[in-house]
Structure 1
């Protein structure tokens, strides 16, 4: 709501008609971008944005008094040039176009699972384009300023181009997008930096659509530009899906010429089309990852490659199951040898595991750079050595799986390369475990682990003499040895300083903390702990102290004394008790006699006692 008032506040001016000296004005692109970013489109939530547009339309109609009838009857009202006395009327038409556009995008998302919704999506997109045309016609009024007219024309051209793009009418679509691009480029050159950045962003959003249309028209050079945009992360959302589908379609055309693949000195026929498509695009994907400069783009490309690899491996697994069923039916002449399909499965698994290793190594390199940077002053937690340990654990696990792939168990060269790689990553993992011990000041454990790193490094150097080409894609071991030597000297110095600090602290604490104030009243001591709430004043609870016991008395004359007889007192007490009991019995008989026959009967049945 606050953002809405801010945007609507841009329309307000000195006089009450929301106009300027030049005429009515509306920052169309600025309002659209702010509304979209604040109400769902940052997370591709088109439904939320549509609801926002509907509620804002309701507020605008209420503030303008431009209601469509009442709650009982709908009466349509059209905004004409004669009514156009306030810029909010232009905003009203703009929000109607945005509501239709967001509904079209929402239906397009749902059309992936329900194809029938594509027709409804096209209808809403056409309606958005009609609202855009209405806005452009209203802006032709002389009271509207020149900038608003140009922005309305660009907005209408964009919506028209989207409609033609969805209908696969490539020539009208590229004409509309080029018109939109030209207007925004001119506006960017005419205004300040902030607005120029906004207009240039819109041009970058339109560029993938223009190149895609040009490719479909017949421009073969456009595909290279699209691939470059894919590397830089351009063309998000639905355009990215179209680009991936286009690349897959191109690879499918090339896959018809591919018949086999060679790995570890063995040629394997490739009969499955999906496998051929993946293997053809593997070199392009690796080149794209190598050329990518943005880390987010590189991570996205790694994830895309891994996803394609998993899907391809799943297809080969299905073929392996069918092959296993055929083997069960009859004897297999090649029972002692790994089949071509199984060897192809091993090759694809090798590609997947190597990609996992490269991705985690790239993430580890990023974290190492951040670890060396000085920590920021804010309270945000930066990277720690423990984060790197987890990455190297995943790398070692992937390398262990490589050594167990069917078809390469007896390949000594391959196994030696895997063992060498594992030693390199074990050394790095051990180095960062030592770093984590340094953080918690466990000096002896860290020093032992540094020595273990040097042991791994010497072993790597001895084994790399026979495998010269195996270390070219691995991290530099010499750099690791230099880091370990530097860290060892730093560790020894820190350990010595830490021992000196710990030796001074107990003596101070013994003077200040262990003795309470009641025991050092005769000496002056500047102790700041005495002014705190938990000052050490006395020992509490107090210690136990020995006290003298009470003397013991022994009655030695007890057996030599004769006590007087007590028989008379006992008999008196007994006679007294008998008299009391006899008196109680006489009282009961007297009560029964006074009651007559009724009392006697009550006495018999026990009612007289109540």
Structure 2
């Protein structure tokens, strides 16, 4: 068994048919698609005929297995069968139109009726060759069973056109139907593949009933499939398919995931590879920032593939179970990516806040806004909306991050002296924090201490903004700025407030200093002054004081200085200035 040749034959066929005309019964368009696809494959594989003499190149076991093996050689044979079958159905429609027309030629009509038979026989031969190649190369059992069912289906279509081969056609259809039923019942098969198996069985059901009706008219016996050897082999192969799927899961090839109590099979091989790489990254190395970015990138790639596949299947009108399964798988991938990205943003925010480097308000706001967007993204998932507890948990997370964002915006506006806007944002942040209940908080990496710290910061910023807004409104902001606000002031806290109106003293602790605050002394202290002698006041009228005219100012005496230059000199040397 070689996983390189693992091909979902029936799924590839059905998707190509629906996307290229058969949704509306346009066999010509599908025939042209198969021709162009064959040409592109031959060029890619360098399997063209060249310009020399034509020599038919057969796809054999040696060709398929050379160079390590290439599954595209099997697709060449499959497309040959599809092209022949679609061309035969196109010619059959043309023959039916020609037969119903008034102007018809018997020779042309007979020839037109024979062409579809040849094309159907050729399609059956190509399908048989595909089955032989799958057996020879050693493809996985699931691919082999699909090839056998496809070969039996094509053989039944070819034999159905012949009136004498109704019984053989019925046996072929019954074999194909038995194989598809066994594959549908196998555990580990995705709902999408099961839906495709049911579609093929529904297509074969009218042909089976038609063959049974014709055989009953001819009084021919027909029974259910009683080939014991075939049924026993089919049972063994069905068990082998289930064991192979289990082996792949044990080899860390993720074929299904379990989420919210449901097992979701993964049919897309590229998504399986992405999830396997994610599992290896999570277990092999430390989840540093680079590894987390790689995992997020892989999740994004897988989500894009699932979204594209879901859109295609929704457009083709697939079964609700298939689209529901793909929707659950997409929700699972989105949920894991959001949780990882949210945790990464929160850890980087904590690292930035704990570092000695200053972090700008814009960087803080940007990080918290990213967290809000991630919470909104996961709240929009249908599977989350249906679960009340999970939806409530993510709503609380969103409120917590939104409160942080509003607090940072309020702090930024406060630095810009926009006090009213800052105060209003603090009120909104406080309203968000009131809705976050600490009792129901069950987050793994956001602790309750973060909630307490945020509430305290919001309250402090609200008080500061409201106070400054009041001062600004009453034009007192300049006087407020003149006040000295210093905890190391020389004025003590024990000094009454009346005596220190120009200085604000910050207490060291609320509990110890609240009892010692004073606005004014209720028992005012008296200042000691010398008492005026009462005796001197009474005797002042009876006392006689000496004459003080002797000590009068000399400026009142007449000016005895001489005028002129000679007079000034004489006055100088004589002591009279």
| TM-score using structure 1 length | 0.33
| TM-score using structure 2 length | 0.35
Larger Rg: 1 or 2?
2
